[in-house]
Amino acid sequence: MDRMTASPARKVLLAAPRGYCAGVDRAVIAVEKALEQYGAPVYVRHEIVHNKYVVKTLEKKGAIFVDETEEVPEGNIVIFSAHGVAPVVHEEAARGKLATIDATCPLVTKVHKEAVRFAKEDYDILLIGHEGHEEVIGTSGEAPDHITLVDGPEDVAKVEVRDPDKVVWLSQTTLSVDETMETVDALKGRFPNLLSPPSDDICYATQNRQTAVKQMGAEADLVIVVGSKNSSNSVRLVEVALGAGARDAHLVDYAEEIDETWLEGVSTVGVTSGASVPEILVEGVLEWLAQRGFEDVETVKAAEESITFSLPKELRRDLRAEARAAVEG
């Protein structure tokens, strides 16, 4: 073929890290272990993680997802999702005589504890996060009288506090790092003595996935993010890709959702996935692309991840008891 008319080589840039974070891995395993340990059905309040495939797969194994604790029949087991719950939800479960397994990610619990501490010290807490998101509802519930939600920089002008010198900001764990810093800068413009959280609230997994997609963004004609529409961290990856210079970016649950027309004039495709996305779904996307000439896959590595969390304590206790009983015969 004439060199001038040859189409440019097609390649895939595959982000690393991508997919499951430690908190999601723990939460999904918690549901699986609970099903093995106690038998179906096991109730789960809210989607254990925001991923359609995960939810469907666990439903097939006997998990029943409910919106509210009140829907769980008395005497059953209910698992709380990775996004965390307000204290009032624990109270509802106790009233309903439910056994609970709390799969809240320890990094979300850390933010809950910060909220409790600053509320005790009588700070006004500005919680940066998305209105209506499950995590924000849970964190706000720790100190409803002290917390005001700030949903992005455009919300800053309307924030009201009791004492501008006694204000702290906290955040949802799965936000855009850059947009959050914009919000914080705007808040600091209004409250120069604004206190910052003792350590990053946006978690390591959210940050690393955004860093990786930024690295590939400028080079990619198209970025495909695997993740569900209600997954905050997955949606953020699409925005970060576009912000980093990708010509086009889309969120898909499955390879079948990719539109052939997105590939028109495209030679480099970036692929990544949200923190709630099993790798099998990314493999499906890579296969789909390979069938269309995108066989060359290059990894873009932004960070190493080795963090893991132990299972929720209620499960560990029962698994230990079972092991003891087996040993004692």
Q: Please report, in angstroms and rounded to a whole number, the separation of the first and last CA atoms in the chain.
A: 75
What is the rounded distance in angstroms from the CA atom of residue 125 to the CA atom of residue 127?
Answer: 6
For ligand SF4, the binding residue among 233, 234, 268, 272 (CB under 6 A) is 233
By CB under 6 A, is residue 231 in contact with ligand 0K2? yes
| Residue 126 Cα distances to 121, 188, 198, 272, angstroms | 14, 11, 14, 31
Give the other-Cβ count within 10 Å of 178's Cβ.
Answer: 15
- Contact segment (CB under 6 A) with ligand 0K2 among 36-44, 149-157, 228-236, 245-253 equals 228-236
Rg of the chain, C-alpha, whole Å: 22
Question: Which partner, ligand 0K2, ligand SF4, none, binds residue 128 by CB below 5 to 8 Å per kind?
Answer: none
Interface with ligand 0K2 includes 49 (CB under 6 A)?
Answer: yes
From the list 4-12, 113-121, 192-200, 225-233, the region that binds ligand 0K2 by CB under 6 A is 225-233
Q: Residue 304: which residues within 8 A CB-CB, separation 6 or more?
A: 17
User: Whole-number minimum distance, CB 135 to ligand 0K2, in Å?
Assistant: 5
Site for ligand 0K2 in 79-138 (CB under 6 A): 82-83, 105, 108, 135
The site string for ligand 0K2 over 50-89 (x = CB under 6 A, - otherwise) reads x-------------------------------xx------
Query: Using the rule CB under 6 A, which residue among 15, 55, 85, 107 binds ligand SF4?
Result: 107
Catalytic residue (one of 135, 283, 295, 298):
135
Q: Omega before 153 cis (within 30°)?
A: no
Told to check if 24 binds ligand 0K2 by CB under 6 A, we report yes
- Which of ligand SF4, ligand 0K2, none does residue 167 bind to, with CB < 5 to 8 Å depending on kind? none
135 in active site: yes
As a whole number of angstroms, the distance between CA 266 and CA 224 comes to 12
Q: Give the number of other Cβ atoms within 10 Å of residue 107's Cβ.
A: 23
Contacts of 149 (CB under 8 A, 6+ apart): 127, 129, 131, 136, 140, 155
User: Any idea which residues carry the catalytic annotation?
Assistant: 135
Task: State the residues that interact with ligand SF4 by CB under 6 A.
Answer: 21-24, 82, 105, 107-108, 173-174, 203, 205-206, 233, 275
